[in-house]
Structure 1
Amino acid sequence: MGAIAWSSLLPLIIVSSLIMYEEWISTPSCKIIPGPDPHENESGRGTEGLKVMLVGNLLLLGSEAGYLNRYFRDYYMAKFFRKSFHSVKPDMLLVLGDVSAKGSELTRSHWLPVFNQFDQMLGPFLGLPFHVTLGDRDVGECSRLNPKSVNWIAGNLPGLDSAGCGAFEISNVSFVSLNAVALLCGNNKLRFSVEKVIERERIDPRMDEEGTAEAINYSGKFSETYNDFAGRENDMPSGSGSVLLLHFPLDRRDDSKCSPESSNTRESRGFLGPGPYDLSHTVPRNATEYIFQSIKPSIIFSAHTHEFCDHTHPDGTREVTVSAMTWKARDDPGFVFATFHGNRRGVSVSYCSLARESHILLAYASVLVLLSSFVLVANIPQWRSLNH
């Protein structure tokens, strides 16, 4: 009798174990990544600050999502968002581009399901301040970069101007986001608008307070703009500007300077492929120098490459590239959790890894085999009686 009761409970035990396993592996595992400045690493310990979760490359498909994506990958991504929210308890969410997998190919009516899916994915984060930058999959490559389309997409996302840029301040931390896709393009109106945002950030705050900020002699061509201002020094010291947010990483001469954690996250890309631009693509060097000279960013956060990277530029500015947070791009998704402390340069950065898709599939396969074996064993007595 006891054996019969135990065998009847076995399927329930297996399914319950799978549910508990799902909850366990959905919780992110976070590791603090030491910064290049040891004093900066020590400065924030024991102090509270603005807690920000940064994600990139969600690659939502909206109404075009098939069964596998809708009921498996997107289901788990929403679960990852919920569990991460309760685990790290952020004050703000930053999404660094490529919200859509095929946004540049979508009409406005087909974009709406993507926005709806995005809202459903965020779940509890909708109650927090959040900001989204534009990626190449969202707006397309240079030959298809349409100012009207960018304006419409940006108008459906919080805090972006018509060119897809934004500037805001929260908890005494200033942020500026750039439409980095436009910076890759040549003679393009959107790029000119992005340059204007960069020049606005260039104005010395002391001049602004005194009301004597000089007018900007904007040339309308990037090469001329850069040359015009290259010789004019910005009085602000390096690292004293806003936190810079953009989709493409800035130019880096030596990718080997990424932290050791980066090598642990490298996997083959998913079925979506590299997208309009190659995954190794970065903001051109002259544009990168222009940004450094004008904005003097305190820290930089980028995405696009699908993998985590902690890079230090020659002037000591730290750039953290955020891993893709979707199985559509890689087997081991992740995100970055940053805490901005009271002092201006104190930023603690953690890389948070999430469950591998292969591990989840293995767990489902194991449960299926166990349940199938149970059904087979349970029906053996009936088959024997039928044969006799």
Structure 2
Amino acid sequence: MVAVAWRSLLPVIIISAFIVYEERVSFPSCKHLPDTTNHPGEHIGNEDGSPEDLTVMMVANLLLLGSDAGFVNLYFRDYYMSKFFMKSFQSLKPDMLLVLGDVSAKGSELSRSKWLSVFHQFDRLLGPFLELPLHVILGDRDVGECCDLDAKSVNWVARNFPGLDSSGCGAFEISNISFVSLNAVALLCGNNKLRFGVEKVVERESVDLQMKTKSTAETKDESGMSRELSYGFGWRENAMTSGSGPVLVLHFPLYRPGNTYSREGSAFKSTIHPSGHSLNFVESSNLSGSGPYDLSQTVPPNATEYIFQALKPRIIFSAHTHEFSDHTHPDGTREVTVPAMTWNARDDPGFIVATFRGNISAVSVTYCSVARESDILIVYTCTLVLFIILVIVSNTPQLKDF
């Protein structure tokens, strides 16, 4: 009788254990990253945040398929990704969400009606994040490669995301932190109309930043009277110091000379190709390995220098590679590359949480990972096997008494 009672409780125990596991596995695992740049006299750590702090969650490479998504994507991957977003929102309590491009896996090939299905899928995944300030930038999968880059198509997609202009760029300020987002795809495209539009945005932001600096920078002359410092407004004559500009967000990483500091790879481990690029172990899969641009592609050196001279970014956040990277450029500017947030690209998705602390120039960065798809599939498989064994035992008279 005891054995029979115990056996009747096994399904309840298995289901309860699975529910507990599913709840726990939905929470992200996060690790604070040490600052790789030099900020004398400043200390940022895991101390309790003040009301003035701005916490921004950054995700990239969602690679949504919209109406083309199959059963597995709709009822397994999307289900868990929406839970990951929900639990991340509950545990981290961010003030804003930034999506660094490649919202769609095949956006450059989609009709407008199919794009609408991607937008609906995007909204379902984000859940509570739709209540927060949201900014989305465009990636190469969203708008295509240079030969197919169409200004009208880019403008239509950009209009469906908040804060983007017709060239796919944006500029905004929240909690006294200035952000500039650029359509980095256009910067790869030579004499393209969209590239000229991006350059105009950079020039405009450069002038605005220097005007703000000029209006606040004053010195005392020998007679005690104050006088304003003179600054040139052309980007080549930008007198602002490195790191004094806005937070820069874009899809492609900026060009990286080989002699600068870099920490790369998921969970701070990676396989380094002889070329110096970090290789994702799932890079050969059909979805993650294909696309308009190679995963090692960066913004060209001349465009990178142009951005540094014009904007003097405080910190840079990029994406595209599917891998995490924490990089310091020669002038000391920090660039954090956000990993892919989808099982369509990697077995262990992740995201970044950045905390901006008032007037402190340094930025606190936390790397978060979510559950591996392979681990969840193993649990599903084990649970299914146990149920099959229970059914066999229950329907086999010779085994009922064991």
Whether these two folds match at TM > 0.5 is yes
- Letter of the structure 1 residue corresponding to residue 114 of structure 2: H
Does the Cα contact within 8 Å between 2:60 and 2:103 map onto a contact in 1?
A: yes
> CA-to-partner distance for each residue in 1:355-385, whole Å, 9 max, x for gaps?
0010011000111111111111122217999
> CA-to-partner distance for each residue in 1:214-250, whole Å, 9 max, x for gaps?
xxxxxxxxxxxxxx967x3201111000000000000
Instruction: Note the C-alpha offset of 1:38.
Output: 5.7
Does the Cα contact within 8 Å between 1:333 and 1:353 map onto a contact in 2?
A: yes
Confirm or deny that 1:200 pairs with 2:204.
yes
- Letter of the structure 1 residue corresponding to residue 31 of structure 2: K
Confirm or deny that 1:315 pairs with 2:331.
yes
Does the Cα contact within 8 Å between 2:137 and 2:251 map onto a contact in 1?
A: yes
Instruction: Note the C-alpha offset of 1:208.
Output: 5.3
* Structure-1 separation of matches of 2:126 and 2:381: 29
Confirm or deny that 1:368 pairs with 2:384.
yes
- Residue of structure 2 in register with 1:157 after alignment: 161
What secondary structure is seen at the aligned counterpart in 1 of 2:43?
helix
- Residue of structure 2 in register with 1:337 after alignment: 353
> CA-to-partner distance for each residue in 1:329-352, whole Å, 9 max, x for gaps?
000000000100012413100000
What secondary structure is seen at the aligned counterpart in 2 of 1:32?
strand
- Residue of structure 2 in register with 1:283 after alignment: 299
Q: How many residues align?
A: 368
- Letter of the structure 2 residue corresponding to residue 271 of structure 1: N
* Structure-1 separation of matches of 2:44 and 2:10: 53
Confirm or deny that 1:69 pairs with 2:73.
yes
Which of 185, 188, 212 is the equivalent residue of 2:189?
185
- Residue of structure 1 in register with 2:128 after alignment: 124
Please, what TM-score do these two structures have when normalized by structure 1?
Answer: 0.90
* Structure-1 separation of matches of 2:104 and 2:14: 36
* Structure-1 separation of matches of 2:310 and 2:118: 35
Does the Cα contact within 8 Å between 1:271 and 1:329 map onto a contact in 2?
A: no
- Residue of structure 2 in register with 1:217 after alignment: none
Please, what TM-score do these two structures have when normalized by structure 2?
Answer: 0.87
> CA-to-partner distance for each residue in 1:182-214, whole Å, 9 max, x for gaps?
000011000000000000111154535879xxx
Aligned residue runs from structure 1 range 243-322, under 5 A = 243-254=247-258, 257-259=261-263, 262=266, 263-264=268-269, 266-269=280-283, 270-272=285-287, 273-322=289-338
Instruction: Note the C-alpha offset of 1:37.
Output: 3.2
What secondary structure is seen at the aligned counterpart in 2 of 1:338?
strand
Which of 113, 121, 130 is the equivalent residue of 1:109?
113
Structure 1 residues 384 and 233: CA distance shift in structure 2, 3 A: closer
- Residue of structure 2 in register with 1:29 after alignment: 29
* Structure-1 separation of matches of 2:182 and 2:145: 16
Structure 1 residues 153 and 337: CA distance shift in structure 2, 3 A: same
> CA-to-partner distance for each residue in 1:84-127, whole Å, 9 max, x for gaps?
11111100000000000000000111100000110111000000
Confirm or deny that 1:168 pairs with 2:172.
yes
Structure 1 residues 281 and 260: CA distance shift in structure 2, 3 A: closer
* Structure-1 separation of matches of 2:83 and 2:259: 33
* Structure-2 separation of matches of 1:165 and 1:344: 26
What secondary structure is seen at the aligned counterpart in 2 of 1:300?
strand
Task: List, as ranges, runs of 4+ consecutive aligned residues in structure 1 with deviation greater than 2 Å.
Answer: 37-41, 43-48, 204-211, 254-258, 260-267, 382-385
Instruction: Note the C-alpha offset of 1:3.
Output: 2.2
Instruction: Note the C-alpha offset of 1:20.
Output: 1.0
Unaligned runs of 5+ in 1: 212-227
Structure 1 residues 260 and 188: CA distance shift in structure 2, 3 A: closer
Does the Cα contact within 8 Å between 2:348 and 2:372 map onto a contact in 1?
A: yes
* Structure-1 separation of matches of 2:264 and 2:210: 40
Unaligned runs of 5+ in 2: 216-232, 271-279
> CA-to-partner distance for each residue in 1:161-200, whole Å, 9 max, x for gaps?
0010000000000000000000000110000000000001
- Letter of the structure 1 residue corresponding to residue 43 of structure 2: E
Which of 140, 147, 150 is the equivalent residue of 1:146?
150
Instruction: Note the C-alpha offset of 1:254.
Output: 2.5
Does the Cα contact within 8 Å between 1:204 and 1:235 map onto a contact in 2?
A: no
